[in-house]
């Protein structure tokens, strides 16, 4: 009818159904976000627990569907979206990071008297954005996913409406985010002008006809890379990252430390190490220099911080620099070591932020490092967990953090970047001091303030999962590395 063959209509409907099925996990999370908004309108004395349980349930359902879809690699929406082992691996990191953030949020939100329905909905929308980013094989879809997660986090960063630090952090994040998005969009537009497409697979074929010395191609590559490096807080694009980390609600700071960073690195790997790997000669030397600067600034400036969240912000910058070394290595081992690093980083970072939330005496009092003073005398279990997370962040064996760094360094040495590996080791030694400083406060200083710390079941669950993940990655590192390597094409 209307001049269209019946078979064509059937094929189109089948393609639509297949695309909807491929994005089933994203649809589940969106439904969860909408349900959280509706549930927040229903007065109930245990509303916070219900909202938290709903979000975790939807994340588990989405993770289950992603796991089974991972056995059937496929493309969807006219090859703009892909289901493969690579995207599934990163989605599991995103699910883990978001679920643990949800669990650690309840106690914090009650303490700060924050309205919770919109909070959980925005958190799930941010998760959807990161999920789209890791599965997108088209520049436009990557940008849509990035903006969805960014817009959600802008609001979450300023969620403590009565707190000027939170408002300031949100405004600064919006400015930085808009600036980086504009730079990245300009790079994308140049790629479209050069190749006539935004699809990465088609772009790969089109680039074979261009000279690598083409000034416009070099400019397009650097602009898009710079836009993405803004998202991971690399120097000199880190700008207001410490202010944003300090001002945001602590659970959101934890979420920003892992999920958007993992998604941004997934996009960088997919674009510059897989689909458009032929562009590597253009950016590899710049990446090496940026990585060293990022590690150096993050490590040295963290030494003088008095606020634990600012210190962890600079720590996050230093870790981003270390992760970039895997890109410099450029090998399959380098990429798999980055993927392992991001998984372990999720465990140890969310673990230490759960401790910070437990020690928090109220947002108006900030989060001084001295909150950890004498923790071992009053709460030996929490002190031991903190010790484990801090050792892992510092890269001290036998924790997972040590092997995360070890495999990155091994990949560097295998590719002949011995001097770069030596610099990374020296800067890691510098970085270890500010973690050791907190350990000294816990075990060598007298306790300050009230000794009573209320640990709820959800936050205890976060601590146990983070502790188990950090320890298991240190005890069975080769298994975790094989798992990450098996997710590469």
Q: Give the tens place of pLDDT for each residue, 329-375.
A: 988 899 999 999 999 999 999 999 999 988 876 555 567 788 888 88
pLDDT at position 9: 45
Residue 262 near residue 346, CB atoms below 8 Å: yes
Q: How far is CA 467 from CA 115, 249, 295, in A?
A: 30, 23, 26
Q: Give the tens place of pLDDT for each residue, 104-120.
A: 988 888 777 776 778 99
Single out the residue of 149, 85, 121 nearest to residue 335, CA to CA: 85
Beta bridge partners of 81: 76, 136
185 Cβ partners below 8 Å, 6+ apart? Answer: 143, 227
Beta bridge partners of 203: none
Residue 356 near residue 389, CB atoms below 8 Å: no
pLDDT at position 210: 85
Single out the residue of 36, 61, 63 nearest to residue 48, CA to CA: 36
Residue 302 near residue 231, CB atoms below 8 Å: no
pLDDT at position 362: 59
Q: How many CB atoms lie within 10 A of CB 370?
A: 14
pLDDT at position 449: 56
Residue 59 near residue 29, CB atoms below 8 Å: yes
Which element (helix H / strand E) includes 74?
A: strand 74-76
Torsional sign, CA 214, 220, 225, 230: positive
Q: How far apart are CA 102 and CA 156, in angstroms?
A: 13
CA 148 to chain centre: 15
Torsional sign, CA 6, 10, 11, 16: positive
Q: How far apart are CA 311 and CA 463, in angstroms?
A: 21
Query: DSSP labels for 210-242?
Result: S-TT-HHHHHHHHHHHHHHHHHHT-TTS-TTHH
Residue ranges of the chain whose pLDDT lies below 70: 1-11, 115, 361-366, 448-451, 489
pLDDT at position 115: 67
pLDDT at position 1: 43
Beta bridge partners of 136: 81
pLDDT at position 11: 56
pTM given for the model: 0.92
pLDDT at position 488: 80
Tokens 């269209």 locate to 4
Q: Give the tens place of pLDDT for each residue, 255-283.
A: 999 999 999 999 999 999 888 888 888 88
121 Cβ partners below 8 Å, 6+ apart? Answer: 33, 34, 36, 37, 40
CA 452 to chain centre: 32
Q: How far apart are CA 233 and CA 270, in angstroms?
A: 19
Tokens 């405004």 locate to 171
């Amino acid at each position: 009818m209307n001049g269209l063959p019946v078979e064509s209509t059937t094929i189109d409907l089948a393609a639509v159904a297949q695309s909807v099925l491929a994005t089933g996990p994203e649809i589940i999370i969106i439904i969860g976000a909408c349900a959280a908004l509706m549930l927040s309108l229903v007065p109930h004395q245990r509303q916070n627990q219900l909202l938290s349980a709903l979000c975790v349930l939807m994340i588990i359902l989405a993770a289950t569907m992603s796991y089974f879809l991972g056995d059937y690699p496929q493309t969807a929406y006219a090859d703009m979206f892909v289901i493969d082992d690579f995207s599934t691996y990163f989605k599991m990191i995103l699910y883990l990071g978001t679920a643990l953030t949800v669990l650690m949020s309840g106690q914090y939100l009650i303490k700060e008297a924050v309205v919770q329905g919109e909070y959980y909905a925005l958190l799930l929308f941010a998760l959807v954005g990161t999920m789209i980013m890791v599965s997108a094989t088209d520049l436009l879809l990557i940008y849509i996913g990035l903006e969805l997660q960014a817009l959600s986090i802008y609001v979450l960063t300023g969620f403590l409406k009565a707190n000027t630090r939170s408002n300031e952090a949100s405004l600064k994040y919006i400015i930085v985010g808009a600036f980086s998005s504009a730079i990245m969009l300009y790079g994308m537009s140049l790629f479209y002008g050069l190749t006539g497409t935004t699809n990465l697979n088609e772009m790969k074929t089109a680039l074979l006809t261009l000279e690598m010395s083409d000034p416009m191609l070099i400019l397009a590559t650097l602009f898009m890379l710079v836009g993405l490096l803004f998202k991971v807080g690399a120097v000199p694009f880190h700008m207001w990252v410490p202010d944003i980390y300090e001002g945001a609600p602590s659970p959101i700071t934890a979420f920003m430390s892992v999920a958007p960073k993992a998604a941004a690195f997934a996009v960088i790997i997919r674009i510059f190490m897989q689909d458009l790997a032929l562009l590597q000669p253009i950016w590899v030397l710049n990446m090496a220099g940026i990585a060293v600067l990022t590690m150096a600034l993050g490590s040295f400036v963290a030494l003088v911080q008095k606020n634990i969240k600012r210190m962890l912000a600079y720590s996050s910058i230093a870790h981003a620099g270390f992760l970039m070394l895997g890109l410099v290595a450029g090998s399959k081992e380098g990429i798999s070591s980055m993927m392992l690093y991001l998984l372990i980083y999720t465990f140890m970072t969310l673990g230490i932020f759960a401790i910070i939330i437990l020690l928090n005496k109220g947002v108006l009092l900030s989060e001084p490092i001295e909150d950890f003073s004498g923790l071992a005398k009053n709460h030996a279990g929490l002190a031991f967990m903190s010790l484990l997370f801090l050792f892992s962040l510092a890269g001290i064996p036998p924790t997972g953090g040590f092997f995360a760094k070890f495999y990155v360094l091994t990949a560097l040495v295998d590719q002949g970047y011995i001097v770069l590996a030596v610099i990374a080791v020296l800067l890691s030694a510098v970085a270890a001091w500010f973690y050791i400083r907190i350990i000294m406060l816990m075990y060598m200083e007298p306790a300050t303030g009230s000794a009573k710390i209320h640990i709820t079941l959800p936050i205890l669950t976060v601590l146990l999962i983070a502790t188990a993940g950090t320890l298991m990655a240190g005890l069975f590192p080769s298994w975790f590395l094989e798992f990450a390597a098996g997710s590469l094409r």
